């Protein structure tokens, strides 16, 4: 690890610790409205001011960070699992199955999946608590975001299939299940880890994009994307620059992830 | 095998591939039609909330709307019309889909091509400059800049583009550039470290000459493949960016079609998008494979 | 030497429009530029249902009677005078003579007859036509002469004259069909998805006081622009001259920069309200249905909502607490004796206690011990509605009620409230364009489709809904406005007592008009900023002059 990577890693760790402890640090509940001071500037009671409804911006930022940072890995995990199963099965079995999986992957990139998100939200029962609906939103992202990893994993699995050691193991009468567990999985595992870590920042960004479009996390629950919805009005940003903090934090975190991650070579 | 036979073979192969792609595109289009048909809110319009309409009229209009009630029938009609080159009429805009696509496609195509051009130019320039300069400071700042761009949510970039009055292609370029840059840079570095390039350097050849004469030819095949992939990426990025910037292209049309549950429109837009993406991807595959075969 | 001449000539040619500009500006009003928020779905004035088509109809259509958007009085249009018969079934128009459509076709009573017949065709299903329908039977149109028309309806139509403000007269003979118009402008060019160009109709009948032909403007360019932020941005840059409907947050922003361009015409007709689903077959728990059917429950909710905070925070003060179906902006029909709603959570709790609810700790429970909790749906992408729900959530938490918010895209939302009834409460707004209570017939009749809280009842579910039905029918068939007003006042009172719709605020009618536009007078009624488009003209404004 280079020193820079160490700095990035420790920043991420500190941030994770902070958001876990956020409940104790918050100046106020994220949804509590101080109606006498909407759109206030920074003060000692509200270090980052308040939003249009008078909610403490720092509390919303911290809570939103928690939502984004804890749920993005969950989505990444789901996506990597799907990609791992599909990709390695396609790579190992080859033939028609591989072709079908790869074609489906290509195709699913072209489908209107933004619309799918919209539909799923409209079909969910209405009386779910906000937290559950947020979790569902992230799981949906995970379900829909596996395509990029499939190609990589499939290619790697194909490599394993054609490798000498597998040939050797197979010729010595190793059963398929054992083959998979003892030989194939250990070879692909580092790739799975890499894919998992690489997808975390991607899902952080996806959440931001979706929430800005109004398809992500729902009010009053904050998230990075949600807090950035007000950016459409850039002119007020110049007078209250502290509103930019979610974007700054997001960019720093994603950059840190890029730094800490194994080089992009593995990913692509 | 003589030359004509060979080219005939190749042609047949390409044709088969094209047919498969078209079939895939159709599958995608019909899948999205199914999705829209069964999405909540299909066949509902804001008209349902118009208190001026009498019960009779509301009912009659609803009957009219229920034309695409049965999905297999819709599939059948759509496919048979498509075979005749007829793309149908949009439910919500009441205009032929072909006309809508003809108006919108050039807008998107234009932004994508310009965006790609800018992104490629910038990425290639920056990457080769990095090779020629080879200073740690330049490299570090290039990487930092690249990583910064990668970390910006594209919705924010689109909003920024709107605010700065930058055209849509600018946002596309910003979205595509960082992906291109890191890939091109890695390719060039790898090519640079090849033995014969090292030998050329040892012979004292100028860095510009090395780049042009040895490095570029070596990196050309994967770069060609990258061209296809980057086209698919930028086309994919254009859709949400256009929807967000309200640029009258395919993306905005797709978004409108989805929100108004416009079956004939969404089918065709998906078909077009899927075909463009699939063709770009498979051209990339093809280029990568052919050139890889010829160089090894 | 020759080259120099060519250069000079070219310079002159390229400057020529600049020289020509100021001279022509004397008698022409230039090109007004503003945005439509969606693609107009039709250019046929009879089929208009949404705002964009309505805008086109307003600017291009010639009508017999025009409602003055400022005075709320009726003014002669193509008809110089009219008379409604004592039984309210027949209206007789006396038409202007010597008029021509935009394409030169002469205008006669035949055109009016043609338009009315087309409009009342039962196969047309036009919202405009349906508002004339009061009973079964045929509408007959007679043309005793080229300048008079008599229209007879099968049953009395309440507020008959006013409805003609929406009827743009078509030509019976013009080969250009509905594109031949009698209004101040005609559609000259249409680029789908991007813009519409309207040009001055030189055959328009109206003249100003000095006898100059109207309109002053040469043309109007309407850009189709869905995104309101972009619209505002373009206004600020001087690319467009007006924003007809301005949201409160944008209003404040504009006012901070250039106070002169932001216009608040005062409380408008639009209202925002929330209602509970009282449909007996709705797919949710019976105990919740019992709450929603309880008048005390609805009144308590209404009392526990702080409407002043809503209008102050969500609308920046550009809204007024609402308490009935009619906005005070509707001078004649508003019932001014209704009591203003009081924000009082203690009183709300007392009322809830009467209905068997009790507060345990910080949770309100009903008589069988269920926690009171419900979900409000609203349409996604509407910031002020999301904010209103967030505020209501905090208000109701004071009386122990938990509120969840779910935003849905419009088609899904409409499906839920009109077809599946799978929702508990809904917050929406109503855009009111018509002042007359008759336009709300389909809202208040218990058998109607837009009786949102419990639509299409075969028999009124409650005594007060039966009373509403009776009153609505009574006002529709009464011929004197005084009698109608009495009935309609009673309707407003019942609604205030029963709170089937819990009205929250009436938004102000706000618009933005560039200082370059001379003669603008934004009004409360729709359209706000360009209702007097025929007398608008563009003055000298450096910002806009530059791009001409």
> Can you give the C-alpha Rg of chain C in angstroms?
26
Which of 3.30.460.80, 3.20.20.80, 1.10.3720.10, 2.60.120.620 is the CATH number of A67-267? 1.10.3720.10
Asked whether the CA dihedral B17, B22, B23, B27 is positive or negative, the reply is positive
Mean pLDDT, rounded, for B207-221: 73
Mean pLDDT of chain B: 81
Mean pLDDT of chain A: 83
* C-beta atoms of B259 and C409 within 8 A: yes
Residue B90, min C-alpha distance to chain C (Å): 11
| Predicted local distance difference test score (pLDDT) of residue B69 | 63
Whether B127 and B185 have beta carbons less than 8 Å apart is answered as yes
Nearest-angstrom CA–CA distance, A25 and B201: 59
* C-beta atoms of B49 and C131 within 8 A: no
| Predicted local distance difference test score (pLDDT) of residue A265 | 43
Mean pLDDT, rounded, for A210-228: 84
Residue A174 has pLDDT above 90, yes or no: no
Q: Work out the pLDDT band at C10, boundaries 50, 70, 90.
A: very low
* C-beta atoms of C125 and B53 within 8 A: yes
Residue of A nearest to C415 (CA): A122
Whether C422 and C460 have beta carbons less than 8 Å apart is answered as no
Question: DSSP state, A40?
Answer: -
DSSP one-letter string for C50-90: SHHHHHHHHHH--BSEEE-TTT--EEESSEEEEEE-TTSSE
| Predicted local distance difference test score (pLDDT) of residue C16 | 40
H-type alpha helices, chain B: 3-38, 55-65, 71-83, 97-133, 136-151, 154-164, 168-192, 195-202, 207-210, 216-245, 250-259, 263-295
| Predicted local distance difference test score (pLDDT) of residue C479 | 75
Mean pLDDT of chain C: 87
With a CB cutoff of 8 Å and minimum separation 6, the contacts of C465 are C446, C454, C457
DSSP one-letter string for C385-418: HHHHHHHHHHHHHTTT-EEEEEEE-HHHHHHIII
First to last CA, chain A: 21
Asked whether the CA dihedral C223, C228, C230, C231 is positive or negative, the reply is positive
A209 contact B CB<8A: yes
Mean pLDDT, rounded, for B26-49: 83
Closest CA to C303 of C321, C278, C330: C321
Mean pLDDT, rounded, for A99-117: 80
Among B45, B47, B53, B259, the strongest candidate for a mutation testing the C interface, having the largest count of C CBs within 10 A, is B53
Looking at chain A from residue 158 to 217, which residues have their Cβ under 8 Å from any Cβ of chain C? 214-215
> Can you give the C-alpha Rg of chain A in angstroms?
22
| Predicted local distance difference test score (pLDDT) of residue B290 | 65
H-type alpha helices, C321-402: 345-354, 383-397
Residue C375, min C-alpha distance to chain A (Å): 6
Burial C487-502 (b: 16+ CB within 10 A, else e): bbbbbbbbbbebbbbb
Highest mean pLDDT among A211-220, B156-165, C224-233, C371-380: C371-380
Distance, CA of B9 to chain centre = 29
Q: Work out the pLDDT band at B280, boundaries 50, 70, 90.
A: confident
Q: Work out the pLDDT band at C12, boundaries 50, 70, 90.
A: very low
| Predicted local distance difference test score (pLDDT) of residue A232 | 67
Mean pLDDT, rounded, for C142-157: 89
What is the share, in percent, of chain C residues with pLDDT greater than 70?
93
* C-beta atoms of B259 and C127 within 8 A: no
Lowest-confidence pick of A20-29, A259-268, C432-441: A259-268
- Provide the total of helices (H) and of strands (E) in chain A, helices listed first: 13, 0
DSSP one-letter string for B51-92: TTS-HHHHHHHHHHHGGG-SHHHHHHHHHHHHHTT---B-TT
| Predicted local distance difference test score (pLDDT) of residue C496 | 92
| Predicted local distance difference test score (pLDDT) of residue C23 | 38
What phi, psi does C142 have (nearest 5°)? -120, 145
Domain ranges of chain A: 67-267
Question: DSSP state, C213?
Answer: B
Paired strand residues for C191: C195
Residue B296 has pLDDT above 50, yes or no: no
> Can you give the C-alpha Rg of chain B in angstroms?
24
Mean pLDDT, rounded, for A62-76: 90
Of C309, C375, C383, which is closest to A127 when you measure between CB atoms? C375
Nearest-angstrom CA–CA distance, A98 and A93: 7
* C-beta atoms of B40 and A123 within 8 A: yes
pLDDT in tens, C501-531: 999 999 999 999 998 898 889 998 888 899 9
A52 contact C CB<8A: yes
What phi, psi does C190 have (nearest 5°)? -140, 115
- Name residue, tokens 């004469």: B213
Q: Work out the pLDDT band at B39, boundaries 50, 70, 90.
A: confident
Q: Work out the pLDDT band at C3, boundaries 50, 70, 90.
A: very low
Q: Which chains would you list as touching B if contact means 3+ CB atom pairs under 8 Å? A: A, C
More confident residue, B179 or C35: C35
Q: How many CB atoms lie within 10 A of CB C473?
A: 13
Question: DSSP state, A33?
Answer: B
Mean pLDDT, rounded, for B40-60: 79
Q: How many CA atoms lie within 13 A of C97 on its CB side?
A: 5
| Predicted local distance difference test score (pLDDT) of residue C547 | 40
Looking at chain C from residue 216 to 275, which residues have their Cβ under 8 Å from any Cβ of chain A? 229, 249, 253, 257
Q: Is C103 strand, coil or helix?
A: coil
Which long-range contacts does C416-422 make (Cβ < 8 Å, 24+ apart)? C416/B40, C416/C377, C417/C277, C417/C452, C418/B44, C418/B48, C418/B49, C418/C449, C418/C455, C419/B44, C420/C283, C421/C277, C421/C279, C421/C281, C421/C282, C421/C283, C422/A126, C422/C282, C422/C283, C422/C284
Nearest-angstrom CA–CA distance, A163 and C222: 66
Question: Interhelix angle for A147-161 vs A57-93, to 10°?
Answer: 30
More confident residue, B74 or C152: C152
> CA distances (Å), A18 to each of A12, A13, A14, A157, C292, in order?
10, 9, 6, 39, 43
| Predicted local distance difference test score (pLDDT) of residue B73 | 81
- Whether the link from the prior residue into C215 is cis, omega within 30° of 0, is yes
Tallying the residues shown for chain C, one arrives at 548
Closest CA to C402 of C361, C367, C368: C361
Mean pLDDT, rounded, for C474-503: 90
Q: Which residues of A touch B151 (CB under 8 A)?
A: 201, 205, 250-252, 254-255, 258
Q: Work out the pLDDT band at C343, boundaries 50, 70, 90.
A: very high
Residue C18 has pLDDT above 90, yes or no: no
Q: Work out the pLDDT band at A89, boundaries 50, 70, 90.
A: confident
More confident residue, B42 or C365: C365
Residue B288 has pLDDT above 70, yes or no: no
Closest CA to A219 of A46, A52, A18, A78: A52
Mean pLDDT, rounded, for A137-159: 85
Among B19, B147, B155, the strongest candidate for a mutation testing the A interface, having the largest count of A CBs within 10 A, is B155
pLDDT in tens, B230-266: 888 888 888 888 887 777 888 888 888 888 888 888 8
In the A/C pair of chains, how many CB contacts fall below 8 A? Answer: 67
- Name residue, tokens 């009495």: C486
Whether B186 and B219 have beta carbons less than 8 Å apart is answered as no
Residue C26 has pLDDT above 50, yes or no: no
Mean pLDDT, rounded, for C453-478: 91
Which tokens is C86 given? Answer: 């004592």
Highest mean pLDDT among A149-158, B128-137, C180-189: C180-189
């Amino acid at each position: 690890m280079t020193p820079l990577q160490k700095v990035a890693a420790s920043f991420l760790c500190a941030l994770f610790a902070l958001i876990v402890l956020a409940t104790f640090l918050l100046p106020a509940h994220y949804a509590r409205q101080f109606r006498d001071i909407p759109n206030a500037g920074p003060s000692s009671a509200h270090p980052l001011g308040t939003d249009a409804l008078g909610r403490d911006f720092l509390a919303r930022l911290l809570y939103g960070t928690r939502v984004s940072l804890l749920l993005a890995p969950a989505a990444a995990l789901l996506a990597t699992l799907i990609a791992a199963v599909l990709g390695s099965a396609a790579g190992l079995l080859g033939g028609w199955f591989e072709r079908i999986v790869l074609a489906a992957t290509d195709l699913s990139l072209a489908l209107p999946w933004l619309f799918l998100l919209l539909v799923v939200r409209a079909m969910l029962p209405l009386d779910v608590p906000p937290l559950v609906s947020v979790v569902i939103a992230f799981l949906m992202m995970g379900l829909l975001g596996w395509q990029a990893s499939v190609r990589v994993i499939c290619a790697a699995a194909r490599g394993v299939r054609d490798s000498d050691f597998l040939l050797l193991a197979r010729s010595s009468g190793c059963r398929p299940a054992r083959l998979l567990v003892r030989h194939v999985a250990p070879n692909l595992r580092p790739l799975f880890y890499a894919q998992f870590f690489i997808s975390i920042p991607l899902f952080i960004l996806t959440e931001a994009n979706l929430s800005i479009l109004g398809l992500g996390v729902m009010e009053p629950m904050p998230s990075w994307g949600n807090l950035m919805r007000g950016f459409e009005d850039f002119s007020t940003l110049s007078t209250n620059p502290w509103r930019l903090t979610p974007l700054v934090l997001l960019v720093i975190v994603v950059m840190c992830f890029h730094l800490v991650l194994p080089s992009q070579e593995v990913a692509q | 095998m003589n030359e004509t036979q060979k080219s005939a073979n190749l042609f047949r192969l390409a044709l088969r591939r094209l047919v498969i792609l078209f079939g895939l595109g159709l599958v995608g289009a019909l899948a999205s039609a199914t999705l829209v048909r069964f999405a909540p809110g299909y066949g509902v319009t804001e008209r349902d909330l118009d208190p001026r309409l009498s019960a009779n009229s509301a009912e009659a209009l609803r009957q009219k709307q229920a034309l695409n009630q049965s999905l297999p029938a819709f599939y059948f009609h759509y496919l048979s019309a498509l075979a005749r080159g007829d793309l149908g009429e949009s439910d919500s805009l009441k205009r032929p889909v072909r006309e809508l696509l003809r108006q919108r496609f050039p807008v998107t195509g234009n932004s994508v091509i310009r965006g790609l051009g800018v992104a490629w130019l910038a990425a290639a320039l920056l990457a080769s400059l990095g090779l020629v300069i080879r200073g740690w400071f330049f490299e570090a700042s290039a990487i930092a800049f690249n990583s910064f761009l990668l970390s910006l949510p594209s919705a924010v970039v689109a909003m920024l583009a709107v605010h700065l009055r930058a055209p849509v292609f600018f946002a596309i370029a910003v979205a595509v550039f960082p992906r291109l840059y890191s890939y091109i840079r890695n390719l060039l570095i790898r090519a640079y470290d090849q033995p014969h390039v090292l030998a050329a350097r040892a012979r004292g050849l100028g860095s510009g000459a090395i780049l042009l004469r040895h490095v570029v030819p070596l990196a050309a095949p994967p770069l060609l493949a990258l061209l296809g992939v980057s086209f698919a990426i930028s086309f994919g990025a254009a859709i949400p960016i256009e929807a967000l910037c309200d640029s009258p292209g395919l993306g905005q049309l797709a978004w409108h079609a989805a929100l108004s549950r416009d079956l004939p429109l969404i089918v065709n837009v998906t078909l077009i998008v899927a075909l463009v993406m699939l063709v770009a991807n498979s051209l990339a595959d093809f280029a990568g494979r052919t050139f890889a075969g010829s160089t090894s | 030497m020759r080259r120099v001449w060519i250069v000079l000539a070219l310079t002159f040619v390229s400057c020529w429009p600049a020289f020509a500009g100021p001279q022509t500006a004397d008698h022409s009003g230039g090109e007004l530029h503003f945005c439509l928020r969606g693609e107009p779905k039709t250019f046929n004035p009879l089929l208009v249902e949404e705002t964009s088509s309505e805008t086109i109809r307003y600017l291009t259509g010639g009508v017999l009677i025009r409602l003055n958007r400022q005075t709320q009085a009726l003014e002669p249009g193509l008809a110089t005078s009219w008379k409604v018969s004592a039984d309210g079934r027949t209206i007789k128009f006396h038409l202007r003579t010597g008029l021509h459509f935009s394409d030169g076709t002469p205008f006669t009573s035949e055109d009016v007859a043609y338009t009315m017949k087309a409009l009342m065709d039962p196969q047309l299903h036009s919202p405009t036509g349906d508002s004339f329908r009061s009973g079964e039977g045929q509408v007959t149109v007679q043309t005793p002469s080229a300048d008079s028309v008599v229209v007879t309806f099968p049953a009395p139509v309440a507020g008959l004259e006013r409805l003609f403000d929406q009827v743009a007269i078509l030509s019976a003979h013009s080969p250009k069909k509905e594109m031949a118009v009698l209004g101040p402008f005609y559609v000259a060019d249409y680029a789908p998805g991007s813009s519409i160009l309207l040009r001055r109709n030189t055959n328009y009948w109206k003249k100003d006081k000095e006898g100059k032909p109207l309109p002053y403007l040469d043309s109007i360019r309407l850009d189709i622009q869905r995104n309101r932020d972009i619209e505002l941005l373009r206004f600020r840059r001087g690319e467009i001259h007006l924003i007809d409907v301005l949201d409160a947050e944008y209003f404040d922003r504009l006012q901070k920069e250039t106070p002169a361009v932001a216009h608040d015409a005062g409380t408008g007709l639009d209202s925002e309200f929330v209602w509970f689903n009282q449909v007996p077959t709705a797919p949710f728990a019976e105990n919740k249905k019992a709450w929603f059917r309880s008048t005390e429950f609805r009144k308590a909710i209404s009392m526990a909502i702080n409407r002043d905070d809503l209008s102050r925070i969500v609308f920046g003060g550009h809204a007024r607490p609402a308490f009935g179906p009619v906005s005070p902006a509707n001078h004649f029909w508003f019932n001014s004796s209704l009591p203003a709603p009081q924000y009082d959570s203690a009183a709300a709790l007392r009322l809830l206690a009467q209905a068997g609810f009790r507060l345990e700790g910080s949770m309100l429970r009903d008589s069988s011990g269920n926690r009171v909790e419900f979900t409000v749906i609203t349409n996604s992408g509407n910031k002020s509605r999301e904010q209103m729900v967030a505020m209501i959530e905090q208000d109701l938490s004071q009386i122990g009620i938990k509120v969840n918010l779910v935003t849905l895209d419009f088609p899904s939302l409409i499906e839920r409230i009109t077809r599946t009834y799978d929702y508990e409460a809904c917050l929406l707004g109503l855009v009111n364009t018509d002042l007359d209570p008759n336009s709300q017939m389909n809202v208040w009749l218990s058998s109607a489709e837009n009786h949102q809280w419990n639509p299409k009842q075969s028999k009124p579910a409650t005594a007060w809904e039966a009373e509403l039905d009776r009153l609505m029918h009574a006002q529709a068939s009464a011929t004197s406005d005084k009698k109608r007003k009495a009935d309609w006042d009673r309707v407003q009172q019942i609604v205030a007592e029963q709170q089937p719709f819990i009205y929250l605020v009436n938004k102000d009618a706000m618009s933005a008009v560039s200082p370059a536009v001379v003669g603008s007078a934004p009004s409360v009624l729709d359209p706000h900023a360009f209702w007097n488009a025929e007398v608008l003209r563009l003055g000298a404004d450096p910002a806009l002059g530059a791009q001409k």
